[in-house]
Structure 1
Amino acid sequence: MARRLIVIRLDIPVDPSSPEAQEWLRGELARPEYQSAKPTWFDLASKAVQDWLASLFQGPGGNAGPVLLLVVVLVIAGLIVTAFFVFGRPRLNRRSALEGRSLFGADELRTAADLRASAERAARAGDWVLAVEEQFRAIAVALDERTLVRVTPGTTATEFAQRAALVVPDEREALGGAARSFDEVRYLDRPGTESAFQQLVALDQRLQRVRIAAPAVAR
């Protein structure tokens, strides 16, 4: 039986530089499945950013230590600056805590120094009711400014005296007497006296000299 040898010729361009091969390659790459696989502009941009960050963290000579340290310092500095703008300086923040506060039945925006000056003016004018009220308020605000005693809305004079006595137990009796003097002129319409005012001034001066090593705010 005679066998026939069948030769199949595959007409595929083998020269990639020929015009026919280049045209065939362009046609092949123009097919939808190849076009959909091409990276988008977002892919290219993301890759560029990733490469840039990688180069930063590698640092010169492949050592990422200095770069990481710089990044940590910058992050901490950013947090500090943000906290400064949000919360303000610590002392100003303590002052702001008094703004809009109802202190013993009245809104109080003044500092302890302001209240002491007001009490002194009232005393010079012989207005002992106002002098006693303002001097007692000065004592409360002064301890609040020093973060020794927290004065919250609704705190009564007696409650303040009890909280302050926890911080300065040696002045417990004097603080209780000061609260009673305030309540008498404020709520019981009792006439204030020069003696009551001077006792409050003396108590205020003693409290100003008190130094607490690690103050714990009495609430």
Structure 2
Amino acid sequence: MIGAGPVGRAVPVDPDAEQARQWLIDELAKPDYRAAQPTWFDRLSAAIGDWFASLRFGGIDGGPNLGALLVILVVVAALVVAYLVFGLPRLARKSGVTGDLFGDADDRDSTAIRAAAEAAAAAGDFELAIAEIFRSTARSLAERTVVTTSPGTTAHDFAMRAAAAFPDFSAALTTAAVSFDGVRYLGRSGTRTEYDAMARLDSGLRAAKPQLQAVTA
């Protein structure tokens, strides 16, 4: 007679779908399974790796490392070309030179004063245009630290010191100082010819290199 199996042996269980799902959730919640899951850093690294792997450069074969290297080389080459063509960037284009200018408080930079001179000339106000273009010339040289001005600087004093730095413009500077004093202090009317000559002087000095490093007030 064949006896029955051991008493209490577990009887196989056939769970329903809901119970099986709960068992799976409970099992995956155990520490061993949670430790095996990828972290946020793992997912970020994988995403970056996939992006590099997706790079294609006109049919050039190569792995992700080659693609990244090519990107870096292109950027560096562009920066070198920009430096050779344009030089160092001017981070602060606004001048820090302000203060008295031939007896008047004036905090404008040379570009703003020059624009005012051109506007006055266009309006036919050559007295103002002549005064402004001379101030622009003085402020421009001060910004370049070639000739500085102070509250006591006169037009002729400025012209004399500027001529020491730019000998080729000596005569034009003297004439410009006379024109400035004439319209500013003597009540004389300015002319288009005077203004045009002073505008050419201003432009020429901006393009010229001084013979002296700096001439201070």
TM-score (normalizing by structure 2): 0.55
Match of 2:32 in 1: none
Amino acid at match of 2:125: D
Q: Distance in 2 between matches of 1:218 and 1:115?
A: 21
Q: CA RMSD in A?
A: 2.2
Pair 1:159-2:154 in alignment: no
Secondary structure at 1:191 match in 2: coil
**Residue-pair matches, total:** 128
Counterpart among 99, 105, 115 of residue 107 in structure 1: 105
Distance verdict in 2 for CA 1:127–1:168, change over 3 Å: same
- The structure with the greater share of residues assigned to helix is 1
Q: TM-score, normalised by structure 1?
A: 0.55
Partner AA of 2:102 in structure 1: F
Match of 2:181 among 174, 179, 183: 183
One-letter code of the match for 2:187? Answer: D
For residues 202 and 97 of structure 1, the distance between their equivalents in structure 2, rounded to whole angstroms, comes to: 23
In structure 2, what residue type is equivalent to 1:178?
A
Please give the per-residue CA displacement for 1:140-193, whole angstroms capped at 9, x wherever unaligned.
000000011011111000000011011001111100000000000000000011
Instruction: Tell me the SS of whatever aligns to 2:215.
Output: coil
1:192 is matched with 190
Cα distance in structure 2, aligned partners of 1:152 and 1:183: 17
Question: What one-letter code is carried by the residue in structure 2 that aligns with 1:166?
Answer: A
Residue aligning to 1:210: 208
Deviation at 1:214, TM superposition (A): 6.3
Counterpart check, 1:138 vs 2:110 = no
- Of all paired residues, the percent bearing the same amino acid is 44
Residues 78-102 of structure 1: CA deviation (Å, up to 9, x unaligned):
xxxxxxxxxxxxx97x94342xx22
Q: How does 1:65-144 map to 2 (within 5 A)?
A: 95-98=95-98, 101-144=99-142
Using the TM superposition, give the Cα deviation of residue 213 of structure 1 relative to its aligned residue in structure 2, in angstroms: 7.2
1:27-48 C-alpha deviation (Å, 9 max, x unpaired): xxxxxxxxxxxxxxxxxxxxxx
Mapped contact 1:136–1:178 kept (Cα < 8 A): yes
Judge conservation of contact 1:166–1:218 (CA < 8 Å) in 2: no
Task: Summarize the Cα distance change of 1:111–1:105 in structure 2 as closer, same or farther, 3 Å threshold.
Answer: same
Structure 1 residues 113 and 97: CA distance shift in structure 2, 3 A: closer
Alignment CA distance shift 1:194-1:102 (3 Å): same
Gaps of 5+ in 1: 1-90
The structure 1 segments of at least 4 consecutive aligned residues displaced by more than 2 Å after TM superposition are 94-97, 216-219
Query: Contact 1:102 / 1:153 at 8 angstroms: preserved in 2?
Result: yes
- Is this contact kept in 2: 1:103–1:151, CA < 8 A? yes
